[in-house]
């Protein structure tokens, strides 16, 4: 009984450790996959903000053409609904946007990530999402000049609300599904192998326990007959 109890305990401990390791591995792989997607999106969209900043439609005599800005932003988001475009003052204050009424949650974004992106630091780099109080997303940015003076930045959130809504409604993609099934298969095979190993390891102990019990009940003669 003691040997059987030990075997069960060892099997349970091994199963818990194995499942924990598989869970952590799956979480790490999911996080790595998400960061990889962010980096790919940010690299593919590099230069988008610069092309917007170079548009003469944004500028009017003495400053920004607000009507043209809204129209251009609306067209860009119609072509690619996943992006959201903003014009920022040099201190990060949002000075132009085309968000639906009531969707803006921040009047200012942190410019430190913008400077890191423009300095060419390693991707992905995430910045503040003006439509959320705490979310940070990958973006593209470019300096904006008006009449030869620094006027701020063009700031493009690359995975906006439309992207989030689609991602929330789409089932787990094939890569993640395959990963989870693979982890489950590895966990099952490892669990079976571990239980078998523990059973073999504790087999001599079970035999010894049986012999001791027979000795206690039948005496030395029982062991002598088996020998």
Structure confidence at residue 1 (pLDDT): 47
Domain count of the fold of the chain: 2
Cα 150 from Cα 58, distance rounded (Å)? 14
Residues 150 and 51 in one domain: yes
Residues 144 and 117 in one domain: yes
Structure confidence at residue 162 (pLDDT): 64
The 3-state DSSP composition of the chain as helix, strand, coil percent (nearest 5) reads 60, 15, 25
Cα 204 from Cα 196, distance rounded (Å)? 14
User: pLDDT of 102-126, one tens digit each?
Assistant: 888 999 999 999 999 999 999 899 9
The CATH number of whichever domain residue 78 belongs to comes to 3.30.450.20
SS3 assignment, position 157? strand
Q: What is the 3-state secondary structure (H, E, C) of 92-145?
A: CEEEEECCCCCCCCCCECCCHHHHHHHCCCCCCCEEECCCCCCCEEEEEEEEEE
Last residue of a domain, one of 110, 128, 157: 157
Of 167, 190, 187, 191, the C-alpha closest to 179 is: 187
Residues 13 and 60 in one domain: no
Residues 53 and 141 in one domain: yes
Residues 115 and 20 in one domain: no
Structure confidence at residue 167 (pLDDT): 62
Structure confidence at residue 119 (pLDDT): 93
Does some domain include residue 150?
yes
CA distances from 72 to 9, 19, 77 (A): 67, 52, 9
Reported pTM = 0.63
Cα 3 from Cα 10, distance rounded (Å)? 10
Record the tokens describing residue 153, joined without a space. Answer: 């930045």
- Which domain does 189 fall in, by range? 2-27+174-226
Cα 52 from Cα 74, distance rounded (Å)? 12
Does some domain include residue 169?
no
Does some domain include residue 82?
yes
Record the tokens describing residue 204, joined without a space. Answer: 């001599």
Cα 9 from Cα 3, distance rounded (Å)? 10
Strands of 149-157's sheet in order across: 94-97, 84-88, 149-157, 136-146, 126-128
Does some domain include residue 151?
yes
Residue-by-residue pLDDT tens, the chain, 227 positions? 444 566 667 667 766 776 777 677 766 766 666 677 778 888 888 888 888 887 756 666 556 667 777 777 777 777 777 888 898 999 999 988 877 888 889 999 999 999 999 999 998 999 999 998 998 999 999 998 777 778 889 999 998 766 666 665 554 565 566 667 777 777 777 777 767 776 777 677 666 677 666 666 665 555 555 55
Does some domain include residue 56?
yes
């Amino acid at each position: 009984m003691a040997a059987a109890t030990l075997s069960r305990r060892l099997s349970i401990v091994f199963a818990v450790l194995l499942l924990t390791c598989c869970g952590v591995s799956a979480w790490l792989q999911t996080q790595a996959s998400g960061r990889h997607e962010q980096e790919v999106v940010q690299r593919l969209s590099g230069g988008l903000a610069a092309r917007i900043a170079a548009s003469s439609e944004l500028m009017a005599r003495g400053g920004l053409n607000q009507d043209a800005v809204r129209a251009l932003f609306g067209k860009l988001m119609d072509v690619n609904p996943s992006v959201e475009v903003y014009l920022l003052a040099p201190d990060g204050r949002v000075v132009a946007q085309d968000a639906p009424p009531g969707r803006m949650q921040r009047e200012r974004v942190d410019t430190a990530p913008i400077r890191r992106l423009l300095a060419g630091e390693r991707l992905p780099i995430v910045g503040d999402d003006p439509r959320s109080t705490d979310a940070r997303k990958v973006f593209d940015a470019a300096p904006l000049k008006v009449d030869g003076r620094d006027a701020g930045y063009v700031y493009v959130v690359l995975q906006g609300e439309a992207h989030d809504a689609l991602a929330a409604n789409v089932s787990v993609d094939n890569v993640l599904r395959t990963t989870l099934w693979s982890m489950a298969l590895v966990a099952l095979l490892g669990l079976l192998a571990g239980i078998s190993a523990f059973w073999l390891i504790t087999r001599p102990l079970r035999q010894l326990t049986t012999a001791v019990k027979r000795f206690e009940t039948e005496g030395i003669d029982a062991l002598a007959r088996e020998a």
